[in-house]
């Protein structure tokens, strides 16, 4: 894929009345990336996706795809395609006709468009369902049909608005793997909106954490998790303890926090905590501790470590960590 297909947002703003929903964003997404836009409800991620798609007007700034300025172009002329959260399938059309619909609008003859549509249906492994109507499909099957329909126009960028949110947890994990594999095989840019930290970390080659219309951090998933830029990112991505030590504020991954019984006080000499809660997570166990000043920390222990210590609610413990595992945060 040519570098000419990079997507660039320059000084992008969006106003709804007097409310500034997108606040002067500057962002460059390289061609072929799987980019996840991540953030809480109302942070602006869906508005941003719709602006890229052409479904929302731009208040200020530019959207560039390669050397092409997308401002003012219709959705059909942008080189993008959008897969909606609701899938937006036509209920009266078969799977084959849903997928072929965009080619019908372009005036392509029926036999030709059906041949092309069938190839995309095969790509998402839905051949045996080609003649079914949407209400005869499961949630996961509808998603595959919507994906085939979005891809048939051969977009340079596929835009996905929380595509997994309506699926049950087990199917969501399966579909994550399918999306990732398909993106690698097609080699095109995917931009995927989600509020799920796990989903973003699992899928993205690059992640954008948003808050109140601004970008808090733009980094690969490993850096987002291990080196959050600030308190907001550390808190939102999750799995971190946030502590003030001296004049600085630091994050410490929950799996790096060590607990010891009150008879085994450790080198960092953190005053005694009491165990407030114990949560079983399968292969690991989350232990929440609290001190006399209401400082709350979480430790994530492998089950063998937990059972070796046999921790209990209300037990007094000491906390310890390796100094190299601390990461200083911006305010």
DSSP calls for 36-95: EEE--TTSSHHHHHHHHHTSS--SEEEEEETTEE-TT--GGGTTEEEE-TT----TTS-H
As to burial, measured by CB atoms within 10 angstroms (0-12 exposed, 13-18 middle, 19+ buried), residue 269 is exposed
CA distances from 271 to 120, 244, 256, 331 (A): 61, 14, 18, 25
Q: Tell me what pLDDT residue 158 has.
A: 96
Q: Tell me what pLDDT residue 2 has.
A: 45
Q: How many helices (H) and strands (E) does the chain have?
A: 9, 18
Q: Tell me what pLDDT residue 283 has.
A: 84
For residues 158 and 191, the answer to whether their CB atoms sit within 8 Å is: yes
180's enclosing H/E stretch is helix 169-186
209's enclosing H/E stretch is strand 206-211
Q: What is the pTM of this model?
A: 0.89
Give ranges for CATH 3.40.50.300 in the chain: 3-231
DSSP single-letter state for residue 154: -
State whether residue 5 is helix, strand or coil: helix
Dihedral sign from CA coordinates of 294, 299, 300, 305: negative
DSSP single-letter state for residue 310: T
pLDDT digits (tens, 9 = 90+) for 221-260: 999 999 999 999 999 999 999 999 889 999 999 999 999 8
Tell me which of 3.30.530.20, 3.30.160.20, 3.20.20.70, 2.40.50.140 is the CATH number of domain 241-328.
2.40.50.140
Q: Tell me what pLDDT residue 284 has.
A: 93
Q: Tell me what pLDDT residue 121 has.
A: 94
CA distance 21 to 40: 13
pLDDT digits (tens, 9 = 90+) for 153-187: 899 999 999 888 877 888 888 888 889 998 998 99
Give ranges for CATH 2.40.50.140 in the chain: 241-328
CA distance 284 to 314: 20
Using DSSP bridges, classify how beta strands 206-211 and 284-290 pair: parallel, antiparallel or unpaired. Answer: unpaired
Distance between start and end Cα atoms, the chain: 39
Tell me which of 3.40.50.300, 1.20.1260.10, 3.90.320.10, 3.40.640.10 is the CATH number of domain 3-231.
3.40.50.300
For residues 152 and 120, the answer to whether their CB atoms sit within 8 Å is: yes
For residues 194 and 38, the answer to whether their CB atoms sit within 8 Å is: yes
Q: Tell me what pLDDT residue 1 has.
A: 42
List residues bridging with 300 in a β-sheet: 286
List residues bridging with 169 in a β-sheet: none
State whether residue 21 is helix, strand or coil: strand
327's enclosing H/E stretch is strand 327-328
Which token pair is 51?
A: 């602006």
Residue ranges of the chain whose pLDDT lies below 70: 1-3, 262-271, 331
């Amino acid at each position: 894929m040519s570098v000419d297909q990079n997507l660039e947002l320059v000084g992008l703003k969006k106003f709804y009345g007097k409310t500034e929903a997108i606040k002067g964003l500057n962002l460059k997404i390289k061609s072929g990336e799987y980019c996840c836009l991540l953030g809480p409800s109302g942070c602006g991620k869906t508005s941003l996706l719709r602006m890229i798609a052409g479904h929302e007007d731009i208040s200020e700034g530019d959207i560039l795809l390669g050397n092409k300025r997308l401002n003012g172009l219709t959705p059909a002329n942008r080189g993008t395609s959008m897969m909606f959260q609701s899938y937006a399938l036509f209920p009266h059309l078969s799977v084959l006709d849903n997928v072929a619909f965009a080619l019908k609008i372009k005036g392509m003859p029926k036999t030709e468009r059906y041949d092309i549509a069938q190839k995309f249906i095969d790509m998402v492994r839905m051949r045996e369902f080609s003649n079914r109507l949407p209400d005869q499909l499961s949630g996961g099957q509808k998603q595959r049909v919507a994906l085939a329909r979005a891809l048939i126009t051969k977009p340079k960028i596929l835009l996905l608005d929380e595509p997994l949110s309506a699926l049950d947890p087990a199917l969501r994990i399966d579909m994550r793997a399918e999306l990732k594999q398909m993106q690698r095989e097609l080699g095109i840019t995917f931009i995927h909106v989600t509020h799920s930290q796990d989903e973003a970390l699992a899928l993205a080659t690059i992640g954008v954490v948003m808050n109140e219309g601004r970008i808090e951090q733009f980094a690969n998933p490993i850096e987002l998790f291990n080196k959050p830029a600030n308190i907001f990112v550390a808190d939102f991505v999750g799995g971190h303890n946030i502590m003030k030590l001296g004049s600085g504020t630091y994050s410490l991954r929950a799996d790096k926090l060590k607990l010891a019984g009150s008879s085994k006080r450790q080198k960092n000499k953190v005053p005694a905590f009491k165990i407030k809660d114990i949560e079983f997570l399968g292969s690991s166990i989350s232990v929440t501790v609290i001190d006399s000043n209401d400082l709350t920390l979480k430790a994530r222990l492998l089950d063998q470590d937990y059972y070796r210590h046999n921790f209990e609610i209300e037990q007094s413990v000491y906390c310890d960590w390796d100094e190299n595992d601390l990461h200083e945060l911006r305010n």
